Structure 1
């Protein structure tokens, strides 16, 4: 719901401030039927996807595991809009249906960090970025709700100028306007700490870990590459993340694994291999240590959330600040 309202409200305010109908929007669903958000609020779209026309931007909002009821017709409708000049986009999980439709091939996709492993697994050849907003020719992908607000401000700036854009931001007490090139803030597994606030050695070590999930590298090799002693890195990690480098690495691998448990149909053996385990048994043990239940139990629980009717899924990240 936040992804929708964060884009509409700035445009509504801009119209009011400028005293003109500079922006118009229409809620669309695939069939035209009502849609219930993850916050259990129901929206009633004005039209179905096939009836949409004369659109400048069509922005897809959905969970990452959403699929069209009639993929052939709906994908065709999206392609028709593109041929008629529309820019296609997605916010947060909405980038997945666009990619499944083949509409992100050859374009860079902004993927929310909590879906990054699942997106890379399903679309291994797609170029991605952790920038909050990624315009790429006739595509625009937006990492999350706050970034959707930023994108709305960009549209206001383009159409009505910076004065109106600034006033809209102040109306909502939006602290800053983020455009292209700004990267997502990612939790560093400790309360009130994000990856952009970390010193270079820790940030560099985390980057190497995230780049080597399927074929893990030892902490000594990481230290050698970033020219720091293992003892110094250990102290920094314990201070800044609450974990040793090795424990952090294990948690990072399990966080990626949980995305695959939640958002893919891969077997546990395949997921284990994707995060650097040759067999599923030690993977299951480590997963249970971090999340409190086995990956098989977790998947059954997650599927029950879905069966219960759009109930919110549990977070893919573990509890923060645990000492190991």
Structure 2
């Protein structure tokens, strides 16, 4: 079924629409899915042609509930799906690491057909589990980048907004899904149509693939003070072996007292406390997203012993690392 409700041949023969299948998994990101499918719908509208056709797929053919509780009706199941040109996997948010065995087997079958397959957000993780990304450039939401690199060393993982490598397309999710689809629409039907869609959505520009997912550090910390940005950058680059406040001050070329004043004025904190928070956030991410032993998590985040890590973590988050892992995100 296409966007105006008429049935069309799903094959991508001359004059026929390109058919995208969207596999929606429970807990999928609604903003990422909507950003992708709306770009295709708008391509039909601005061109006055049926350029694209979409089918919503769920594992069992039933409606699927998104991460924010909105349900989307499925047109097909894994067993009853029609033919299509490309599949986009819309993964759960946060990533679901179990319960996807049937989907992974299905993806491996599609791979044998030489089909173009893509992942939005954590959809990349399922593609990786199925072996679809070995030897490819790929990305995933920045929160999951580290775990994807650790679990799948044969993937060339990037922090780019999206990646298009041969017959594999992946993006970080969120609004990046729209940038990815606009880029593909531009490749398939010309930049003029893609630009018209962007204007309809009041998007000032189409971001390129190599655009980083995370906003610049100065925007994240809310200041453009050069020395402060240098200090925080050093902290983020030295999580496993934390620098002392004196070391930080030396490397950025200011006195310890001046560095402490900068942190107090712009970040309402002191260097040591801010640094500790960064390390604990990194540890929390690993606990929620990986099976790395807690002692190893402690070492990778700059804690000399697991007991010191556990005490510090509990004081900050109100739960121990073990409880954090049991509870999940």
Query: TM-score, with normalisation over the residues of structure 1?
Result: 0.78
After superposition, what is the alpha-carbon deviation per residue over 1:2-44, rounded to whole angstroms, capped at 9, x for unaligned?
1111100121111011111111121122333332211112223
2:54 partner SS: coil
Q: 5+ residue gaps in structure 2? A: 1-29
Question: Is 2:237 the counterpart of 1:211?
Answer: yes
Which contiguous aligned blocks of 4+ residues in structure 1 show a shift greater than 6 angstroms? none
Q: Tell me the residue number matched to 2:303.
A: 277
Q: Tell me the residue number matched to 1:49.
A: 78
Q: Tell me the residue number matched to 1:308.
A: none
Match of 1:99 among 117, 128, 147: 128
Specify which structure has the higher proportion of helix: 1
- State the shift of 1:90 in Å: 1.5
1:272/1:279 contact within 8 Å kept:
yes
Q: Tell me the residue number matched to 1:250.
A: 276
- State the shift of 1:288 in Å: 3.0
Q: Tell me the residue number matched to 1:160.
A: 189
CA RMSD of aligned residues (A): 3.0
1:298 partner SS: helix
Match of 2:290 among 251, 264, 267: 264
Q: Taking CA–CA contacts closer than 8 Å with sequence separation of 6 or more, which of the two structures ends up with the larger relative contact order?
A: 1
- State the shift of 1:200 in Å: 4.9
Question: Is 2:321 the counterpart of 1:295?
Answer: yes
Q: Tell me the residue number matched to 1:66.
A: 96
2:111/2:132 contact within 8 Å kept:
no
1:27/1:46 contact within 8 Å kept:
yes
1:179 partner SS: coil
1:50/1:74 contact within 8 Å kept:
no
Structure 1 or 2, whichever has the larger Rg, is 2
Q: Tell me the residue number matched to 2:48.
A: 19
- State the shift of 1:146 in Å: 0.6
Q: How many residues align?
A: 299
Is the alpha carbon distance of 1:141 and 1:230 closer, same or farther for their aligned partners in structure 2, counting shifts above 3 Å? farther
Q: Which deviates more, 244-253 or 141-150?
A: 244-253
- Within-5 A mapping of 1:156-235: 156-186=185-215, 193-194=219-220, 198-235=224-261
Is the alpha carbon distance of 1:13 and 1:186 closer, same or farther for their aligned partners in structure 2, counting shifts above 3 Å? same
Q: 5+ residue gaps in structure 1? A: 303-312, 314-324
- State the shift of 1:272 in Å: 1.7
- State the shift of 1:51 in Å: 4.8
- State the shift of 1:102 in Å: 2.1
1:24 partner SS: strand
Cα distance in 2 for residues equivalent to 1:290 and 1:104: 37
Q: Which deviates more, 216-225 or 28-37?
A: 216-225
Query: TM-score, with normalisation over the residues of structure 2?
Result: 0.77
Q: Tell me the residue number matched to 1:34.
A: 63
Cα distance in 2 for residues equivalent to 1:193 and 1:8: 30
Match of 1:144 among 173, 178, 202: 173
1:205/1:226 contact within 8 Å kept:
yes
Question: Is 2:148 the counterpart of 1:119?
Answer: yes
